[in-house]
Amino acid sequence: MKRIVNFNSFNVFSIEKESWDVEYHNHNFYELIIIESGKGFHHLNNITFPYKKGDVFLLRPSDGHEFSIKNKTKFIYIKFTEQYIWENLLPNKKNELKKAVQLLMEDHSFVYESAIKSKTDRMHLLQLARILLYEFSHKNTYNKEITTDLFSSIITILIRNTMQNTAAKSRIAQNISKIERILYYINVNALDADKMKIENLAKEFMLSHNYISIYIKKQTGFSIQQHVIQHKLKTAEKLLLQSHYNISEIADRLGFNDASHFHKMFKVYKEMSPSEFKKKGLSY
């Protein structure tokens, strides 16, 4: 996979394309992509979902992606590094928001979807991104201060959209624990069989391979394999409703033994077959 390297800690620009001409890639930076106009498909971590005007995607350095454009699309890109966040954004945040920013950078629970759910927030964030693009491009007086404030507002809107439930608020109120970091890691890498090997997971978090399974089960009540299956089945829900893949293709992409194994696991999880779930979802 191609890796795009950027040596600037912060960059904002806009491009408009009728067809996508950049091969599947990841980066050495974080990337916030705002869809200003157009529609098509976003291929992210080997999963495909449709995109439309107002969608916002937050990509971490390890995320691989590319787009398939259906209608001419205008993208606004905000590229930034972790160092930029620490030096320019966090010093001005209250302690609770600092933790929320850290959680946002690590949390992959919405990785396959637009990060903005609220219709009003979608409109406001798009307006802020347009102003940020203008300020960054024109280098007027107090440009740095204004761009930092605008970017801070954009990140805060992202936080508001991803931290609506009680459980998320509770996580923000506490320091991010080791078990939370492990669960984030599992969510990000659940489809990577090599990274999910006990010895590699244990090495990542400096625990013995004999103890890490016991630790996760004790802390959460579920085994590593149960967490992986749960993530795969949640992803399967989205694929069934939002992608063009058939059931066999979904089973293959999510690493199930075959369509029959996927069917059995999904039926236990949702108390209905994948095809029944898809039909029910599309009927609403």
The domain in which residue 28 lies consists of: 2-171
DSSP character at residue 5: -
Does the pLDDT of residue 13 top 90, yes or no?
A: yes
Listed residue (8, 15, 10) closest to 146, CA to CA: 10
Write the CA distances from 193 to 77, 188, 189, 265, integer angstroms.
31, 12, 8, 18
Residue 151: CATH number of its domain: 2.60.120.280
At how many degrees (to 10) do helices 259-270 and 224-242 cross? 100
- Which of 169-183, 188-202, 210-224 has the least mean pLDDT? 169-183
| Dist. CA 273–CA 52, nearest whole Å | 29
Please provide the average confidence, as pLDDT, over all residues in the chain: 84
- 152 and 56 in one domain? yes
Does the pLDDT of residue 52 top 90, yes or no?
A: yes
- 187 and 111 in one domain? no
Number of domains in the chain: 2
The pLDDT of residue 283: 53
* pLDDT digit string, tens, across residues 105-139: 765 444 557 888 889 999 999 999 999 999 999 98
- 113 and 10 in one domain? yes
* pLDDT digit string, tens, across residues 251-268: 998 989 899 999 999 998
Last residue of a domain, one of 171, 191, 224: 171
Burial class of residue 124, CB neighbours in 10 A (0-12, 13-18, 19+): middle
Listed residue (194, 197, 196, 172) closest to 186, CA to CA: 196
The pLDDT of residue 260: 93
* pLDDT digit string, tens, across residues 54-93: 999 999 888 889 999 999 999 999 999 888 888 887 776 6
- 220 and 84 in one domain? no
